Chains A and B, each alone.
Chain A
Amino acid sequence: MWDKIKDFASEFFVTGDPLILGAQVSIGLTLIAIIFTLTYFKKWRWLWTEWLTSVDHKKIGIMYIIASILMLFRGGVDALLMRVQLAAPELEFLHADHYNAIFTTHGVIMILFMAMPLMFGLFNIVVPLQIGARDVAFPFLNSLSFWMFFFGAMLFNVSFIIGGSPDAGWLAYPPLSGLLGSPGVGQDFYIWGIQISGIGSLATGINFVVTILKMRAPGMKLMQMPMFTWSVLSSCVTIMFAFPILTVTLFLLFLDRYLGAHFFTLDGGGNPMMYINLIWMWGHPEVYIVILPAFGIFSEIVSTFSKKRLFGYKSMVFALMSISFFSFFTWAHHFFTMGSGANVNAFFAVTTMLIAIPTGVKVFNWLFTMYRGKLSFPTPMLWTIAFIPCFVVGGMTGVMLSVAPADFQFHNSYFLIAHFHQVLIGGVVFGYFAGLYYWWPKMFGFRLHEGLGKWAFWLWNIGFYVCFMPQYALGLMGMTRRFNEYNFDMGWQPLNVVSTVGAFLMGLAFIFQVWQIAHSIKFLKKETSGDAWDGRTLEWSIPSPAPLYNFARLPQVTSQDDWWEKKQRRARGEAELPEVAAADQAPLEPIHMPRNSGIPFIMSFSWFVAGFGFVWDWKWMIVVGLAGVIISMLARSFSYDTDYYIPVDEVKRTEAAARGAH
C-alpha cells in the first residue's frame, strides 16, 4: 500500500530537481500564507461577493491585469533561467530536458497568459468608458471569459509541479508533440490549458465586437470612436476568425494523443505539416491580435500629450482594418524552409511585405501628430516614444525575414528570436505598459510615482537593447534557437554574456515597477479631478475610479475627441450645444445593471476539473467536471432574475460623493 502511494506520488509530482523542489516549497508556503491571511482577516466572503462573482467590467479588468503581472513574473523567471544557462559555454545549470520545458512554458505563458490577459484587462477597463457605455454587451459572458482564462492558465501552470511541463515548443509541432514524441502528461496540460483559456478569449472577442457596435453613447458615429476602441474592434474581429482555428487544431492533436487518431502522426496517413499550417493560420493573426491594441494605445497617448487631434484618423482606421485582414494571408512565412515550393513562398513573401505598408503609415501618423504639438513627456508618453524606433527596427528585420530565399539563412536562428522579441517586447509589452501607466489613475484613483517609473522605463529600454541586439549578430554567426549548450570554440560567449546582462537589467526594471506600485500605494496621491492628463476622450469625463454604473447620464456625443471639444467650448465660454445641454440636464433615471453571479467561476472551475481528468485519463473526474459544466449552463439558462435597477437616490449619493471631492 505504502509503496503504491509512493509510486503514484513520484509519478504525480515532479521530483528530483532541486530548482523545482524549491519552487514547490515556495508555492506551498505562499498558498498557506494566502489562505491564512484570508481566514484571519475574515475576507473569504468579501473575496467571493466583491471579486470572484463580480460582473463589473472594471473589476474583471483589474483581475486580468493582476493575473497577467503574476504571469509576467513567472515567464520572466523562466527567461532569466535560460539566459543564465546560455551565458557561458558548457554550463551545467539547466539540463536539456529542463531547458526544453522552460523555453516551452516561457513562450506559452508570455503570449497567451501574459500578453493576452493584459490586453483583455485594458479592453475591459477602457472600452466601455471610452464609448460612454455602462457595461460590456454581455457582462455574464465577460466574467465567464475571465474565469476560463484564469483556470486554463492555472491548469497549464500546475504542470510544472504536477506531472511535468510540456517541452515540445510553444506551438507544439507534431510529431514531437504526438504520443510517441511526448509520452508524458505535460503535452496534455498544454492542450487543455490553452483550449480552456482559448474559449474564453473567443467569447471576449465576440463580446467586445457587440459592445463596440451596439453600445456606443448616443451620437457617437463609428468614425468618431476613439482610436483605441477602433484597435480593439480590429483585434476582436481577428480573434473571431483566428481562435476557432486554434480550437480545432488543439482538439485534433488531443484526438491523436487520446484516441489514437491519425491527423498528424507519421503513420496511418497523418500529415504533421498540416498541423504546422493550421497552427500558424491562428498563430500569425495572433501576433497581430496582440499588437493592434498597442497601436491604439499609442494613438491615444500621442494625441493627448501633443494636445492635438490624431493626424490621419481615417488612414489609421483603414490601416488597422487592412492589417487584420492581411494577417490571415501570411502564415506560411513561418515555414518558408519546409518545402512549400517557390510559388507558394513568393506569394507569402509578398503578402508579408504588404503588411509593412499600413504599419508604416501609422508610424508617420504618430510623428505628424507630434509635429508642432504642445508636447509633454510623462511616463506613458516616454513608453510611446521609445516604442517607435524599436518597432521600426523590428519591422525592418521582419521584412528581411520575409524575403523567402534569405530566410533560409535566418530561419530558426537567434536573428529570428531577436526579431520577434523586438516586436513583442518593444511593441506589445511597451505598448501595454504605456496603457497601464496612462489609465492607472482612472482605474485606481491614484497616481503612480513618476520618478520610480522613469527608472523602470530606462532600465527596461537599455536592458532590452543590451539583451537583443547581440542576438541579431549571434543569429548571423550561426547560433540557432533552442540550444541549451554550446562549445567554447564557437566564439559565441562574449555576445551571450552581454545578452544575459541585458536580460537581468529588464528583471531589475520589473522590480522597480513593483516598487513603484507599492510606493505609490503607501504615499497615496489621490487623483481627484477624474481627468489626470487633461484627456480627450469620454473616460476622462467621469470620476476616478469610475462608479459602478460609469455614467450617471449617458453623454450626448457630437464629435471625435468629444470630451476635449467640450472642455474647449467651456473654456471659450460658449454655450453648450442644445442637444448636449439637454442630455446633461436630463433628470436622473434608475440604472439597469446585471447582478453578480457565481456561475462563471463554478463553470470554469468545472472545466478545470474536466481538463485535469483528461490529462490524467481519470474517467470519473472527466464525468464530474463535464457534469459541472452542463449543470452550470442549465442553471444559467433557467435563471431569469439576472438584473436589477440602481435607484435614483443611490446614483445621486454616489455622484455627490465622487464629485464633491473637488
Chain B
Amino acid sequence: MAHAYQSHAGAHGHSAHGSHDGHHGHDHHDQEEMKTFGFWLFLITDVILFGTLFATFMVLRLNTAGGPTGAELIELPGIIASTFILLTSSFTSGVALLEMNRGNKKGLILWLIITALLGASFIYLEVTEFIHLVHEGATIGTSAYWSAFFTLVGTHGLHVTVGLVWMTALILQLRRRGITPVTKRKVNIISLYWHFLDVVWIFVFTIVYLMGVM
C-alpha cells in the first residue's frame, strides 16, 4: 500500500524551497503511482461517458426524420484513411514510451511530436469531413440521427484536441526538465489516454461508420 505523504528520511528534510523532481525517490514514487491510478479511474468514468453517447446513437440511429441518411452522405475512404492515421499515432506514442524508458530524451520528444502531428492530421480530416457534411445539408439540427452522429464523433474529436494541447504542453516541459519521475508519469498518462482514444475510435468506426454505412 502506498502512503502518500509519509516522508522517508531526515535526509531530505529541507525547508520549503526547491523543486522536487527526482530527489525524493520513494516518496514521489508513491505519489506518482497514485496519480496514475487516479487516471485509470478517470478513464473508467470516460468509458461511461462514451458508453452513454453510444447508447444514444444506437437508439436514434434510424431517426432521420425524412432527411439524409448516413449511408447517403458519408464517404468511407476518407474515414478509413483517418482511422489508419490514428492507429499509427497510437503506435508512435508507444515508441515514444520505449524511448523514454531507454532514457533517450531526444527520441522521446521526437516521437511525441510525430504522434501529435498524426493526431492533428486526424483532426484536420475530421473537420474537413464535417464541413463536407454540412455542405451536403446534414447539420446537428437536421435530424436526431445527425444530432447523435455529430455529438458522438465530435466528442471523440474534442478529446483528441484536448490531448493535442496537453501533449504540446508536455513536450515543452520535457525540453525544459528532461525525464524525471514527474514527467515520466505525465508521459505514461498521456499515452494511456491516447490509446484509450484509439480504442474508442475503433468502436466509433465500427458502429457509426461500418454498421451505419455499409
| Selected interface stretch from B31-39, B103-111, B114-122 | B31-39
In the assembled complex, 15 residue pairs joining A and B whose CB atoms fall closer than 8 Å, in A order, are A135-B4, A216-B1, A240-B45, A240-B48, A244-B52, A251-B151, A255-B151, A261-B151, A263-B60, A270-B63, A637-B169, A640-B19, A640-B20, A640-B21, A641-B19
Interface window among B7-15, B79-87, B200-208: B7-15
Q: Check: A644 CB closer than 8 A to any chain B CB.
A: yes
Cβ of A263 and Cβ of B148 under 8 Å apart?
Answer: yes
Say whether A469 faces chain B, with CB atoms less than 8 Å apart: no
Instruction: Find the B residue at minimum CB distance from A594.
Output: B5
- Most chain B beta-carbon contacts within 10 A, residue among A274, A591, A640: A640
Residue of B34, B37, B141 touching A261 (CB-CB under 8 A)? B141
Contact A634 B169 (CB under 8 A): yes
Pairwise interchain contact B13-A645, C-beta atoms closer than 8 A? yes
Smallest beta-carbon distance A217→chain B, Å? 8
Question: Among residues 206 to 229 in chain A, which have CB atoms less than 8 Å away from a CB atom of chain B?
Answer: 206-207, 209-210, 213-218
Rounded to whole Å, the gap between the CB of A510 and the closest CB of chain B is 36
Q: Evaluate contact between B60 and A269: CB separation under 8 angstroms.
A: yes
Known A244-B52, A245-B52; contact A210-B38, beta-carbon cutoff 8 A = yes
By a CB distance below 8 angstroms, the chain B residues around A648 are 10, 13
Distance (Å) between the CB of A600 and the closest chain B CB? 16
Q: How many residues of B contact A (CB 8 A)?
A: 58
Min distance, Cβ A284 to any Cβ of chain B, angstroms: 15
Which A residues are CB-close (under 8 A) to B1?
214, 216, 218
- Docked-complex contact B34 and A269, CB < 8 angstroms: no
In the assembled complex, A69 has its CB within 8 A of some CB on chain B: no
A554 at the interface (CB under 8 A from B): yes
Given A214-B2, A248-B53, A644-B16, A261 and B147 contact (CB-CB distance below 8 Å): yes
Q: Select one of B5, B56, B173 contacting A263, CB under 8 A.
A: B56
Partner of A640, one of B3, B35, B177: B177
Min distance, Cβ A268 to any Cβ of chain B, angstroms: 5
What B residues does A621 contact at CB under 8 A?
Answer: none
B40 to chain A minimum Cβ distance, whole angstroms, is 9
Q: Which residue of A lies closest to B177 (CB)?
A: A640
Is A589 positioned at the interface, with any CB of B under 8 Å from its CB? Answer: yes
Q: A580: shortest Cβ distance to chain B, in Å? A: 16
> Is A134 on the interface with B (CB-CB < 8 A)?
yes
Q: Which of B140, B141, B147, B177 has the most CB of A within 10 A?
A: B147
Q: Give the docked Cα–Cα distance between A210 and B64 (Å).
A: 44
Q: How large is the interface on A (under 10, 10 to 19, 20 to 34, 35 or more residues)?
A: 35 or more
Which A residues between 171 and 227 are near B, CB-CB below 8 angstroms?
Answer: 202, 205-207, 209-210, 213-218
For residue A19, CB closer than 8 A to chain B, the reply is no
Residues from chain A with Cβ under 8 Å of B166 in the complex: 637
Query: B32 CB to closest chain A CB, in angstroms?
Result: 12
Please determine whether A243 and B140 come into contact, CB atoms closer than 8 angstroms.
no
Top 7 nearest A-B pairs (CB, nearest first) are: A269-B63, A269-B144, A260-B141, A261-B147, A269-B65, A590-B13, A244-B48
B45→A243 contact, CB < 8 A:
yes
Interface readout for A627-643 with B: 1 if CB under 8 Å, 0 if not? 00010001001101101
Selected contact of B5 from candidates A247, A591, A630, A638, CB within 8 Å: A591
Contact B15 A262 (CB under 8 A): no
Provide the residues of chain A in CB contact with B21, threshold 8 Å. 640
Nearest chain B CB to A422 CB, angstrom units: 31
What is the 8 Å Cβ interface bit string for chain B, positions 167-181, against chain A (1 contact, 0 not)? 001101100010000
Checking B41, B49, B140, B173 against A209 with a beta-carbon cut-off of 8 angstroms, the contacting residue is: B41
Instruction: Establish whether residues B65 and A267, one from each chain, have CB atoms under 8 Å apart when the complex forms.
Output: yes
Asked if B165 CB lies within 8 Å of chain A CBs, one says yes
Task: Provide the bound-state CA to CA distance between A138 and B173, in Å.
Answer: 21
The residue in B3, B12, B165 that gathers the most chain A C-beta atoms within 10 A of its C-beta is B3
CB distance from A409 to the nearest CB of B (A): 30
- Nearest B residue to A259 via CB reads B140
Contacts of B141 in A (CB 8 A): 259-262, 268
- A 477-526 contacts with B by CB, 8 A: none
- Asked if A269 and B145 sit within 8 Å, CB to CB, the answer is yes
A136-158 interface with B by 8 A CB criterion: 137-138
> How far in angstroms is the closest Cβ of chain A from B164?
12
Quote the shortest CB–CB distance from B131 to chain A (angstroms): 16
- Any A CB within 8 A of the CB of B143: yes
Is B3 a contact partner of A274 (Cβ separation < 8 A)? no
Min distance, Cβ B175 to any Cβ of chain A, angstroms: 12
Q: Is the CB of B144 within 8 A of A262?
A: yes
**Contact, CB under 8 Å: B5 / A210:** no
Residue of A nearest to B39 (CB): A206
Distance from A121 Cβ to chain B, minimum over Cβ atoms (Å): 21
Task: Check if A647 sits within 8 Å of B143, measured CB to CB.
Answer: no
- Which chain A residues border B35 with CB–CB below 8 Å? 138
CB <8 Å contact, B144 and A278: no
Tell me, yes or no, whether A271 is within 8 Å of chain B by CB: yes
Contact residues in B for A640 (Cβ distance below 8 Å): 19-21, 177, 182
Q: Judging by beta carbons under 8 Å apart, are B10 and A271 in contact?
A: no
A634 to B: closest C-beta gap in Å: 6
Do residues B144 and A270 form an inter-chain contact, with CB atoms below 8 A? Answer: yes
Q: How many whole Å from A531's CB to the nearest CB in chain B?
A: 24
Interface residue? A241 (CB, 8 A)? yes
B49 to chain A, nearest CB (A): 4
B147–chain A nearest beta-carbon distance, Å: 4
Q: Does B44 contact A (CB under 8 A)?
A: yes
Q: Would you call A314 an interface residue if the criterion is a C-beta within 8 Å of the partner chain's C-beta atoms?
A: no
A88 in contact (CB, < 8 A): no
User: Interface 1/0s, chain B 48-68, versus A by CB < 8 A?
Assistant: 110011001001100111000
